[in-house]
Structures are given as structure tokens and as C-alpha cells.
Amino acid sequence: MVFYYLLLSIIAIVFVLTMIFVRSHANIITFYEKLFVAAIFFASCLFGISLAIYPNWWRTYTHQTNHTSKVQEEKIKRSFQGHHPDCKTFKSHVIVIKNKPRCAGCLGLALGSLVSILLMALYLFLPYRLPVAISYILLILGIFALLLVYGEIILNNRHTLIHIIINSLLVLSFLVITISVVEITKGPVYGILTILICFLWLDTRIHLSNQQHKNICASCTKSCKTY
């Protein structure tokens, strides 16, 4: 499953690179077109922040029957901190703030979203256009940051603070890729498509993280296997 997500993410990168060559023939993009793209980006970031703070809030609005097996019930009995098992093998995944444990990855995503909202607002209201050359450089940097995040998760050789910073870079990579595509193509539709692709990249990051959690549990000598 994770392999297919990685494959789809690579195809998505190729698709984004293709979009900048099959761009619209417009010479400029209007403020209202940029505002439309920015509004969708803002909404996406706010939704992401809500999930980072309250990961399962959406489940309260779904009506699903809970068929929990006895094996799953045994897993649930293990306490969690920052929605990670209270286990020393997951110590680097959690950071304690004011005596309250928080998921380092989610904290990084939330911080990255907040910074991205501010930078998108700055891009929207500053009265100057990015040179095309700068847009291409930002696009390459954004893709590199995206791959860096994936690499950090796959290697699983992490420090808590670095993990927070790397996850912040993920959302910032979404920002610079989206802005670059909008500036190069001059088409709001391409910007919206890029935001949709960002959800795929985020989902891939989540699946990579879940796989690493399973690997950590599998290599642990304790009998409690949460993942």
C-alpha cells in the first residue's frame, strides 16, 4: 500500500512539472484569481490545523458501528501520549509542552500551516510579481523539501526537534509549490489542482508514518503491539 502511495506521489510531481509546460496563455493573473486560490489554501491549512490538534474530531459527525475485537481491545488498553503509545520506542515522536505530551509530527504540521497562512497572505497583498526564474527555483526547492520529509520518515532516525522542523517544511513545500505553479502558469485552475495534489502528498506522509509505527512495534520485544 505504501509503495503505491509513493508511486502516486512521484507521478503527481511529474504531473505538476507537466502543468507548467501546458500552461495558460495569459500574461498576468488578477488579484481576484490569486485570492480564490489563496482562500482554498487558507481553508486547507485551517482544516489541517484542526486535525493536528484534534485528530479524530470528524469521527464525532459520522455514524459508524464500532466492531472492536478482543485483540483490538487489548491494544487500546495501552495508554497513549500525543496519540502515540506510552512506550520508550516512541519517545522521539512526542514532545512535552507545559507537562502535556504532544505529537511532534502534528505540532510541526500545525506550525507549518500557520506560517504558510501568513506567507500566503503576504504573497497575496504585496504589490509585486515574482520573476519567473525565482518561481522555478521555488518549485524545485518545494519538491526537494517534500522528498526530504519523506526521507526523514522512511529513515526513522529522528530527533524530536528536527522532526518538528521537517514536518513544518512539508506544509511550506505545499505553499511554495502552489505559488510557483500559479506564478508560472498564470492560471488559478492550475493552482487549485496543485492544492488537491498536496492532499495526496500529505496522505502519503501519513501512510509512511503509519508504516514506520508498525515497523517500530514489530521490532519491539514487548508483547503489546499497538500497530
- Tens digit of each residue's pLDDT (9 = 90 or more) over 100-141: 778 888 899 999 999 999 999 999 988 778 888 999 999 999
Q: What is the pLDDT of residue 71?
A: 45
Q: Of 44-48, 53-57, 71-75, 183-187, where does mean pLDDT reach its minimum?
A: 71-75
Model pLDDT for residues 148-186, shown as the tens digit of each residue: 999 988 887 668 888 899 999 999 999 999 999 999 998
Residue 94 has pLDDT above 50, yes or no: yes
Chain-centroid distance of CA 224 in Å reads 29
> How far is the C-alpha of 179 from the C-alpha of 66, rounded, in Å?
42
CA distances from 42 to 118, 158, 180, 218 (A): 9, 30, 17, 39
pLDDT class for 63, splitting at 50, 70, 90? very low
Residues 6+ apart with CB under 8 A from 40: 192, 195
> How far is the C-alpha of 123 from the C-alpha of 192, rounded, in Å?
16
Average pLDDT over residues 88-108: 79
Local structure of residue 107 (DSSP, 8 states): H
> What does the block give as the cell for 13?
510531481
Q: What is the pLDDT of residue 82?
A: 58
pLDDT class for 59, splitting at 50, 70, 90? low
CA distances from 26 to 6, 37, 42, 146 (A): 33, 16, 25, 29
Higher local confidence (pLDDT), 2 or 68:
2
Give the position of cell 522528498: 147
pTM: 0.85
Residues 6+ apart with CB under 8 A from 132: 183, 184
Chain-centroid distance of CA 151 in Å reads 14
> How far is the C-alpha of 196 from the C-alpha of 16, rounded, in Å?
11
Residues 6+ apart with CB under 8 A from 105: 93, 163, 164, 167, 209
Q: Of 21-35, 54-68, 132-146, where does mean pLDDT reach its minimum?
A: 54-68
Residue 58 has pLDDT above 70, yes or no: no
Q: Of 12-26, 36-50, 69-83, 177-191, where does mean pLDDT reach its minimum?
A: 69-83
Residue 67 has pLDDT above 60, yes or no: no
Per cent of the chain over pLDDT 90 is 48
pLDDT class for 32, splitting at 50, 70, 90? very high
Interior/surface letters 108-144, b for 16+ CB within 10 angstroms, e for the rest: bbbbbbeebbeebeebbeeeeebeeeebeebbebbbe
Higher local confidence (pLDDT), 92 or 206:
206
What's the whole-number average pLDDT of the chain?
83
Average pLDDT over residues 189-195: 95
